[in-house]
Amino acid sequence: MFKEVNSNPDFPKLENNLLEKWDKNNTVKEYRDKNIDSGKTFSFIDGPITANNPMGVHHAWGRTYKDLFQRFYTMLGHEQRYQNGFDCQGLWVEVEVEKALGFKSKKDIQDFGVEKFVNLCKERVNKYSAVQRDQSIRLGYWMDWEDSYFTMSDENNYSIWGFLKQMNESGKIYKGTDVVPWSGRSGTSYSQMEIIEGRKLVAHKSVFIKFKLKNKNNEYALVWTTTPWTLTSNVSLLVNKNLNYAKCKLKNDEIYYVAEKNIKYQRLEKEFKEKREWVEGVPKLKTIAQLFNERGGYTVEKIIKGSDMIGWEYEGPYDEFKATKIDGGFPFTNEKLKDEKINAIKCHKIYDGGKDQEGNDVVTSGEGTGIVHTAPGCGDIDYKIGQKNNLVALAPLDEEANFIENFDWLKGKNATDSKTIELILEDLKNKDLLFYTELYPHIYPHCWRSGDELVFRLVDEWYINMDWRNDIKKSVDEINWVPAWGKQREHEWLNNMGDWMISKKRFWGLALPIWQFEDDSFYVIGSKEELKKLAVEGWKEFEGNTPHRPWIDKIKIKHPKTGLIGTRVLDVGNPWLDAGIVGFSTLQYRTNKEYWNKWFPADLISESFPGQFRNWFYSYLTMGTAISKKTPTKNIFSYALVRDESGAEMHKSQGNAIWFDDAAEEIGVDVIRWLYTRQNPEINLRFGPSIANEIRRQVIIPIWNIYSFFTNYAILDKFTPPQNLKSPNPTNLMDKWILVEMKETSEMVKEYLKLYQPDKAALSVENFINLLSNWYIRRNRRRFWKSGKFENNTKIDLDKYSAYETLYFVLITLSKIMSPIIPFITDEIYCNLTNEANWKKNSVHLEDFPAFNKKNKDDEQLQIATRAAMRISSLGRSARSKSQIKVRQPINNLLFKSKQQIDPKYLEMIKEQVKDEVNVKNVNIVNENYKLSETNITLNKSVLGPKLGNKMGDLIKELNNLDNDLLIKNLREKDYVNINNIELSIEDFNIEHYNLENTEFIEDNNYEVSIETKLNPSLIDEGSSRELIHNIQNLRKDSGFNISDKIIMTYSSDEYLKNIINKFESHISQEILATNIIFEKSETGDNAFQINNSNIFISLKISN
RNA sequence: GGGCCAGUAGCUCAGCCGGUUAGAGCGCAGUCCUGAUAAGACUGAGGUCCCAAGUUCGAGUCUUGGCUGGCCCA
């Protein structure tokens, strides 16, 4: 016997009960073992989730997909690994630990002790990986939670060592000196990948500075910069040799050189006007001409070419600093220039900016002055130009972005501190070099963790030379990307990216296995074994620890060739190395090649696309291609971002972030999973309670209602599951039809999921649920209500049984095909409905995905006929509402035409259905020539007038002689007619329909429908009786009676209604559950109604 | 400045390979049903499919060029 179904359940509670049940029955294990020897595999390789905080609802989106696809392939019989991954190493973990400890800088960590700090990082990861595991379980994510991989594992780290050694053996690892974005707070450089995360619109104090030209009297190059602190390290100036420069003389006789076009150029005009990329409160920028005019006006004395200025010497703004006088630059020394006794001051000349890598001019007109200050130690382009022009570099900042020695009074001051900027400006003003300061809005890189501005520092970092990127691009081409444009996006990144910076001057992460020697050589270790072999010091302290700082730092090795003793570089690795290696580290690549071959390449990897093209997809593809020489995955499925209900980004600080735990318990995870699955993955998803409520009402509750309807009646009627679960073969056409629809839906879901289009799969299920609920169930309710139980096989009502059998099979099938999406209620439904079946599995999740034959022609005809019945009913109701005849009022006739051929064998079914739906006595199809409406055709003069001009008159005359009906027929058949040698199409006419007498006509693309609006007395009487029943039912409800309460009705009325009641007494009694209807003459009563101009007073009481 | 994606009803979004009069949900107005009942159904109003040109018998759909927004890269 089925368990009775609560028609209004608490879904989150139901989900939690199921979690307990699954746990108790070990269902997940049984699920994982389902296909263990099936011979077919599906390899999903998980992109690790950062185990640093509890999950947000956005994580649940991706995990819903991951679970969905794995469940689907489980149902298709594929063996899988079900391995989840946690991302453990990297700055983001350090940041949280620092926060917890109240640390402000990198130095605090060193003072605290690296070992203690690293251990806290590990603890944090262990803590939150467990939290995320539990949350994932709550989501219904069925993984092998005992077997999750952790990127901090020895295996993962040593696997990366192997990769780096391989890279080094092909000469791809190098130490580069470069100017890189740097966070003073974090004390580390930022990779190309990370810097993109932290771009922010800010208003900086930008300055116009006078650079005094040597050997000229009172002449200056005017220079503009947004980073005044870099002026301390100025080395050269750049112009564009092809631009025109104006020699401007001011009122005070000072002469300024600026690019001619720039003088009147309105900087950031568009941004200011549209207030896009503009910072509130920043005033409009002035033109250079305005600045000159404010100083009393200017005259342009001469126009010269940029090329004429090349070679001019100038005095730098900070030539008094010791650093500028150090030969070879400071603190990095260019030995060649040192030997030539070249210092910064000697470099102070104007150079040509030339072109960048893309072939664009480095110096352009527009913003600024057309003369650019360069500080090769403070900017990446500056550095490249410095190298090209053989210039020294001054790199003024230390790890914390403070000025270093030889920068005189600035020593120890922080470059991003606004006070420092003020001091510099003050100093420039005192030197009379400051021409103008302003606030300038622009997008500038910031530290993604602290929000602090980044600076650019000249430092040593380690890189992988990516000149072999074409190998990766080949892999990219061979992958099926969903969405398809992902391929192009990945190519774009691969084309534009620089070499991969893999080092980070931090503590918690992959220990780069690079040891350096006094002769400036380095050696890359590829495994723990190799390390042990080459170690000459520190092995004892290291042994037993993970390959992390600080333990690993203790080891010194002897170079196998030179015999020199080296120490490890203190850097840790880029965290995307950790995630990129998992195609090997998690698949026993180093120990069991057979296993690895079984599971590599992946069938599927999946992550959210913003970011991943340059992060995980990139590192996975790079490492996968390099090591395996294969394309490392067959499919990449990616999706957009979760936003709040109004489309805004969710932020903790803005209070619109939703926590997963709250969402799960308040909304329920089936609702969440359906919401996620039905979303077009390319589009940002809006998430919130009202959207979730809509999904619950639209999808989850209808399913539940169908299920509870079926089950509760099945209990009453003692319906039991069939001996074998196979598709029924009913004779009832509606049963037949819903099975056709269901099978089609099932096959569509399968196809869509194979194509990685889960949204389409979900939407096709929604469509089916709508048909099932709003047509099949609604139209068939009475078959379930008929009396007669099934318990003792005698006198079974076969039609009633067919309805049960059909709906049962539909529900079981539906629970299967929806189970990958909403694993909770589907299992609830399945388990309850199968609890006595001898063929049952312990869970719907142990079932296979249904397989059905394609629908045949007959099925299709049945589908067409049923759709026709629905549509004609709808048009019939529409006609009723146009002629203001309520559905309660029966009408005599409905006639329809169909453009689509309807199989005659289904005609009777259509008639029956329409009769019932529209409350009409007779329904008939009529042929093409039968007139359902009066039509009037006129010329559309507003269209034809301009086309025909004076021919119109004749045409109008001609038309009057033609048979309207014939004309319309011709137009419909051929789309055009020829009158007076003029070709006219249907658009050239206005066709109006008029109702024939006593009818209401309506049409759509496929059908014409006409209802008879004339009512005879017998119809009116029947209408009155139904009106009466309706009023009494409302009264019952208002009186608070139970649905099953029997009543006694007493009434007083006019003759008319009295007669109606007498005429329809048995029907009325049955409908309102009256045991007795008593007429009692009186002039007043509690409840008065007027029906058809006749009055009635009614009182009801419960009969005992 | 370059690339990608999008622009369809008041809102959120479907619309396949080009094919009659462009759809859904929500919201709004109204009606119905009362044995799925703190549900449910139906009907209606509401659209220059961003603009322009082109290809075509036919364009929301294809092409080109603009405009607007988002993302990515400089």
Burial of A972-992, coded b for 16+ CB within 10 Å and e otherwise, reads eeeeebebeeeebeeebbeee
Report the distance separating Cα A135 and Cα A938, nearest Å: 69
Spell out where A846-919 has E strands.
891-898
Which tokens go with A818?
């929806």
A577 touches A608 (CB < 8 A): no
Please identify residues in chain A, positions 91-150, with a C-beta within 7 angstroms of any atom of strand B: none
Q: Which nucleotides of B are covered by protein (CB under 7 A)?
A: 2-5, 12-14, 20-21, 23, 25-26, 30-44, 69-74
Phi–psi pair at A1077, nearest 5 degrees: -125, 120
Predicted local confidence at residue A749, as pLDDT: 93
Helix (H) or strand (E) holding A222: strand A219-225
Enter the pTM of the model: 0.87
Q: Is A77 left (phi over 0), alpha (psi -120 to 50) or beta?
A: left
A994 touches A934 (CB < 8 A): yes
Predicted local confidence at residue A976, as pLDDT: 58
Spell out where A277-369 has E strands.
298-305, 314-315, 350-352
Protein A8 CA to nucleic acid B38 C1', in Å? 9
A606 touches A617 (CB < 8 A): no
Asked whether residue A683's C-beta has any atom of DNA/RNA strand B within 7 A, the reply is: yes
Closest nucleotide to A787's CA, by C1' atom?
B35
pLDDT means per 10 residues in chain A (1104 residues)? 87 95 97 95 96 91 95 98 96 89 88 96 97 97 97 97 97 89 83 67 87 94 92 93 91 92 78 67 84 91 92 94 93 90 94 75 80 90 87 91 93 91 93 91 76 85 93 94 89 88 92 95 96 95 94 96 95 94 97 96 91 89 96 94 85 82 93 92 88 90 92 89 91 92 93 92 91 89 81 73 93 95 95 93 96 89 88 86 83 86 88 87 83 66 54 60 63 59 59 71 81 86 86 79 78 87 85 84 75 83 77
Asked whether residue A273's C-beta has any atom of DNA/RNA strand B within 7 A, the reply is: no
Which tokens go with A523?
């050696």
Asked if the interface predicted TM-score (ipTM) of this complex is over 0.95, the answer is no
Protein A690 CA to nucleic acid B22 C1', in Å? 28
Report the distance separating Cα A114 and Cα A65, nearest Å: 39
Predicted local confidence at residue A673, as pLDDT: 94
Q: Which of A418, A375, A365, A369 is nearest to A396 (CA)?
A: A375
Report the distance separating Cα A427 and Cα A629, nearest Å: 59
Protein A661 CA to nucleic acid B34 C1', in Å? 39
Residue nearest to nucleotide B6 (CA to C1'): A683
Burial (CB < 10 A; 0-12, 13-18, 19+), residue A319, is: middle
DSSP state, A415?
A: T
Helix (H) or strand (E) holding A168: helix A154-169
The secondary structure of A670-718, three-state, reads HHHHHHHHHCCCCCCEECCHHHHHHHHHHHHHHHHHHHHHHHHHHHHHC
Predicted local confidence at residue A192, as pLDDT: 63
Q: What is the mean pLDDT of chain A?
A: 88
Q: Which of A1004, A1102, A22, A160 is nearest to A577 (CA)?
A: A160
Largest pairwise CA distance in chain A: 127
Report the distance separating Cα A513 and Cα A160, nearest Å: 9
Q: pLDDT by residue (tens digit) across A920-931?
A: 888 988 887 777
Asked whether residue A662's C-beta has any atom of DNA/RNA strand B within 7 A, the reply is: no
Please identify residues in chain A, positions 1003-1062, with a C-beta within 7 angstroms of any atom of strand B: 1003-1006, 1026, 1029-1030, 1033-1034, 1037, 1043
Closest nucleotide to A707's CA, by C1' atom?
B36
Q: pLDDT by residue (tens digit) across A83-107?
A: 999 999 998 899 889 989 998 888 8
Predicted local confidence at residue A1071, as pLDDT: 79
A158 touches A93 (CB < 8 A): no
Predicted local confidence at residue A533, as pLDDT: 96
Predicted local confidence at residue A374, as pLDDT: 92
